[in-house]
Structure 1
Amino acid sequence: MSKIAQQSIQTTVFSYLGVVLGYINVLWLYPFALDATELGTFRTIQDLGLLFVPFAQLGVGHGITRFFPQLEQNQSAFLFYSLTFSLFGFIAVSAIFFGLQDQVVGLFAANSPEVINFLGIVLLITLFALLSSVLDAYGRSYLKVAVPTFFREVFLRLLTSVLVAVYLLDWISFGQVMQGLVVVYGLAFFGVWGYLAWLGKIQVDFNWKSFPKGFRSSFVRFSLVTFLATAASTLIMKIDSIMVSSMVSLEANAIYSIAFYMALVVELPRRAISQVAMPVIAEHFAKNELSAINRLYRQISNRQLYICLLLFALIWCNIDSIYHFVPNREIYQAGKWVVFYIALGKIFDVAFSVNGEILVFSNYYRFNLSLTIAMSLLIIAINYWLIPVFGIEGAAIGSAAVMLSFNLVKYLYLNVRMDLSPFSAETGKILLAGLPAFGLMFMQTDFLHPVLLMAVKSILVLGIFLGMSWLLGLGREEWQWIRARLKKSGP
């Protein structure tokens, strides 16, 4: 796992640097500079734009990862073919969007009419995010993940911080903030393009006839089959926020978005590892190395669960202290239990490891398509049932329930079809090491300042987790690897 480990570490560094910026943005700058309605509009427009990306992409991202190993040359031609194909998807999505504009307006007219004024920005965000996603997949095929992650996780958030800060200084209007989002996403795209061009991985090449026989038709067929799965997967991630805006209010979505972002930190290690693991899984399938896939499947599950469970414990035990520093916390603290349910759903996701990626690159990718579409319809139905009853907590409970169901079905399918499983005795040990730390949530320390309280609880959580890990013999391989890297980099 040397390539995976190296790129994952770099990617994780950028991801967590992005988290730091994200925390400053979402937990302080945005609530301070924007009122709840403006923040809800700000998030809803971005979520809509990003929701359309996989529909416009037409599955090109997975198609690049799967078919890239089959090319020994003409990789740049493959990139331009993929970009052209996805642009046709963008044109189709745009046509549908304009054709259904009255219906889209109707969704928000009653509870969130402010969104209607900025619907034109949605497609421009979609365009630049779409082009960036294709470049990400192309760079990932070369195992160049870290720098694209920097532009996506750090650069994008940094420019957004500047945009909102300029609004806070009264130099621009809120409408110009929304227009500035298009510039921000555009600059992020050109940053990734410039990086890959600098590496010599991009050359203008439209010589598509040089591809192997049947390559283009196989690529298009696979992409079209998998795009609905990718789109439905994104729908599962984004639809709850949009439904909260349309069914409750923009203020409720602002509360939900802040809570969701807190919980999202839990899954960042999974996102970093998954991006690098995808081309490796595709290569193993090309060589029919099922034992190597199962080993990778299990390793990733254990390492993700070990790290993510610790992050979950740290966040949840400090949740009241974290909210203490959010401007207007009396409004936003209503999302406390949203953090718990969303984070729990992320734990389900990381424990079941890269089951979705394995299905996508196996001969059973059509099952993943059917399942993902079914789950996207299920979460819409659950949200329509739970949001009117439980409000924003209903959306979070629905997300967690769908994540568990979604992963459980994929696990059972892979286990029956290919005898693959991410679980082992170490999985139980990790849970045994992590769960006691959650007991600190009930620690009564109201007399301490929130900063001191966070420090005390964090030290205790780490102590319990690492102490239990030592007793159970967990994390030895990871610590040996870290020591070897430190020794190698030393004098």
Structure 2
Amino acid sequence: MSKIAQQSIQTTIFSYIGVLLGYINVLWLYPYALDATELGTFRTIQDLGLLFVPFAQLGVGHGITRFFPKLEQNQSAFLSYSLALSLLGFGAVTLIFFGFKSQIMGLFATNSPEVLNFLGVVLLITLFALLSSVMDAYSRSYLKIAIPTFFREVFLRLLTSVLVGVYLLGWINFDEVMLGLVVVYGMALLGVLAYLIWLGKVHIDFNWKNFPPGFRSSFIRFSLITFLATAASTLIMKIDSIMVSSMVSLEANAIYSIAFYMALVVELPRRAISQVAMPVIADHFAKDQIGEINKLYRQISNRQLYICLFLFALIWSNIDSIYHFVPNREIYQAGKYVVFFIALGKIFDVAFSVNSEILVFSKYYRFNLVLTIAMSILIIGVNYWLIPIYGIEGAAIGSASVMLAFNLIKYGYLKIKLQLDPFSYETLKILFVGVMIFALKDFYLDEVHPMLMAGIKSILIVGMFFFWSMIANVGQDEWNWIKSKLKKSGS
């Protein structure tokens, strides 16, 4: 776990700085500077652009991670080859987009017509995010995760803050804000490229004939098979927001987006750990080290579940205090239970560990393709059923339900095919600690300012978390790491 731990710590730091910026943006700056319709448009256009990325990428990101260990040279040629394939994919997506433009416009014409003014921005966001994702995968293969994470999680949000701040000052209009998003994503792309050039990992090399025999055909075949799984997985994450805009309104999507972002904090440790774990899993499969994969599978599950339950308890116990500081909270606090159900879905995901990553890099990767496509179809059907009944909460319930079903099937498949299991007696102890700290969610003091109330609750939760962790003897690695850092800072 040494490589994973080292990079994960750095990545987590940047991720949480990004979260801090994100909280300032989503919970204060955006609701303050933009009205609910503008905010809904702002989020919907970005979600649409990012939704198209995996379709354009053609699975190249996972292909890079899987096939990079097979190369001892020609890595720069591999990058240029991967970028060329992705640009072909982008060309195909663009043709399909314009071919079905009238149908796409029809989805938003009734409830969210403002989206129609910025469909060109969608494709440009897709292009820049696509190229960034390919270079992220290339950097990840060198186990260089932290700096690309900085550009994706911190730099991108910081520039977006500046963009909306300039709008708040009245220096630009809303149309120019939307065009500015293209510049923001373009600058983040240039940052990752500059980092790779600085590392000496990028050279102009189009000599694609010197790859090992059969390398290109195997790479393309694997990428094309896995791209549908990746695309469907992104569809699962993004479709609820887009369907809320289409079926309800842009204002409803603004409420949903703010709630979704609050819940997203719960899964940040998973995002940091899984990014670094992917090349390690690929390497273990290359060496047929199934025992090491199972060990990693279980370690990551326990670590993620332990940390993420704590974050879930902190957020849900303080949810009213958090909404108190959101501008126009009388509008946005309608998303309170969206936070709960989305966060619950994230807990399901982290508990089942890196099952998707294991499937992608195993010989059973086709199963992941079939399952993910089936789940994406299911979530669309579930949303069409639940959104008209429960509104934005229906979208959140649908997401959590599909996430649980998705992970249960993958768990059973890996258990049967590879005898892998992320759960143990340690899992039960972690769940026990989580249940005990959730007992504080209803603790409340009358006539106490929400900020003070949040501070009191948070201190009580941390204390209870530490107490029950000691009683159950879980999380020793995490607490020892915190103690060591406190000792260093105090010396």
TM range (shorter): over 0.9
Task: Name the counterpart of 2:389.
Answer: 389
In 2, Cα distance between the equivalents of 1:486 and 1:84?
48
Alignment correspondent of 2:354: 354
**Share of identical aligned residues, percent?**
78
Q: Give yes or no for the alignment of 1:229 onto 2:239.
A: no
Question: Following the alignment from structure 1 to structure 2, what is the Cα–Cα distance between the partners of residues 133 and 30?
Answer: 26
Task: Tell me, yes or no, if structure 1 residue 26 matches structure 2 residue 26.
Answer: yes
> 1:441, CA displacement in angstroms?
1.9
- Asked whether the equivalents of residues 39 and 251 of structure 2 are also in contact (C-alpha less than 8 Å), the reply is yes
Alignment size in residue pairs? 491
The corresponding residue for 1:463 is: 463
Shift of 1:467: 0.6
Could you tell me which residue of structure 1 aligns to residue 131 of structure 2? 131
The reply to whether residue 323 of structure 1 matches residue 320 of structure 2 is: no
How far apart, CA to CA, are the structure 2 residues paired with 1:440 and 1:465? 11
Letter in 2 for 1:473: N
Deviation at 1:484, TM superposition (A): 6.2
Deviations 1:367-398 (A, max 9, x none): 00000000000000000000000000000000
Question: Are 1:189 and 2:189 counterparts?
Answer: yes
What residue in structure 2 maps to residue 164 of structure 1? Answer: 164
Separation (CA, whole Å) in 2 of partners of 1:195 and 1:320:
41
What do the CA deviations read for 1:306-342 (whole angstroms, capped 9, x no partner)? 1000000000000000000000000000000000000
Q: Could you tell me which residue of structure 2 aligns to residue 287 of structure 1?
A: 287
For 2:121 and 2:138, how far apart are their aligned partners in 1? 26
Secondary structure in 2 matching 1:321: helix
What residue ranges of structure 1 are gaps of 5+ in the alignment? none
Cross-structure match for 1:179: 179
Cα deviation 1:190-219 (Å, max 9, x = unaligned): 000000100000001001000000000000
Asked whether the 8 Å contact 2:281–2:361 carries over to 1, the reply is: yes
Structure 1 residue 475: Cα displacement: 1.3
Deviations 1:141-197 (A, max 9, x none): 000000000000000000000000000000000000000000000000000000010
SS at match of 2:172: coil
Q: CA contact under 8 A between 2:11 and 2:146: conserved in structure 1?
A: yes
Is the Cα–Cα contact under 8 Å of residues 269 and 307 in structure 2 kept in the other structure? Answer: yes
Indicate how the Cα distance of structure 1 residues 483 and 2 shifts in structure 2: closer, same or farther if over 3 A, else same.
Answer: farther
Q: Does 1:250 pair with 2:250?
A: yes
Distance 1:343 1:67 in 2: 34
Q: SS where residue 129 of structure 1 aligns?
A: helix
Provide the residue aligned with 2:427 in structure 1. Answer: 427
User: Secondary structure in 1 aligned to 2:332?
Assistant: helix
Q: Give CA deviations for 1:333-356 in whole Å, capped at 9, x if unaligned.
A: 000000000000000000000000
Q: Deviations over 1:442-472 (max 9, x none)?
A: 1232311001000000011111111100001
Helix, strand or coil: the match of 2:447? coil
Letter matched to residue 183 of structure 1: V
Alignment pair present for 1:205 and 2:205: yes
Q: Name the SS for the 1:448 alignment partner.
A: coil
- Measured after TM superposition, the shift of residue 487 of structure 1 is 7.8
Deviations 1:39-80 (A, max 9, x none): 000000000000000000000000000000000000000000
Name the structure 2 match of 1:337: 337
Aligned with 1:363: secondary structure? coil
Aligned to 2:39: 39
- C-alpha distance in 1, partners of 2:298/2:439? 28
Note the aligned Cα RMSD (angstroms): 1.2
User: Counterpart of 1:127 in structure 2: which amino acid?
Assistant: L
Q: State the alpha-carbon separation in 2 of the partners of residues 161 and 487 from structure 1.
A: 36
Match status 1:479 vs 2:476: no
Offset at residue 243 of structure 1 (A): 0.1
Pair 1:485–1:294, CA change in 2 (3 A): farther
Structure 2 residue 105 is the aligned partner of structure 1 residue 101: no
Assess, with a 3 A threshold, how the Cα gap between structure 1 residues 184 and 413 changes in structure 2: closer, same or farther: same
Q: Tell me how far apart the structure 1 counterparts of residues 70 and 36 of structure 2 sit (CA, whole Å).
A: 50
Distance 2:55 2:166 in 1: 33
1:149 partner SS = helix
Alignment-mate amino acid for residue 78 of structure 2? F
1:56 counterpart letter in structure 2: A
Q: Which amino acid aligns with 1:451?
A: M
| Residue 64 (str. 1) matches residue 64 (str. 2) | yes
Residue identity matched to 1:320: D
With normalisation by structure 1, the TM-score equals 0.99
Q: Is the 8 A contact 2:444 2:453 kept in 1?
A: no
**CA contact 2:375–2:402 (8 Å) conserved in 1:** yes
Residues 255, 334 of structure 2: 8 Å contact kept: yes
Code of the aligned partner of 2:346: K
Distance 1:373 1:120 in 2: 27
State the alpha-carbon separation in 2 of the partners of residues 64 and 156 from structure 1.
24
Deviates more, 1:438-447 or 1:65-74: 438-447
Matches within 5 A, 1:47-126: 47-126=47-126
The one-letter amino acid of 1:116's match is: L
The 2-side partners of 1:476 and 1:439 are apart by 22
Query: Greater shift after overlay, 435-444 or 353-362?
Result: 435-444
Deviation at 1:483, TM superposition (A): 5.5
Aligned to 2:448: 448
Moved over 6 A (4+): 484-491
How many angstroms apart in 1 are the aligned matches of 2:358 and 2:488? 33
User: 5+ residue gaps in structure 2?
Assistant: none
Letter in 2 for 1:204: I
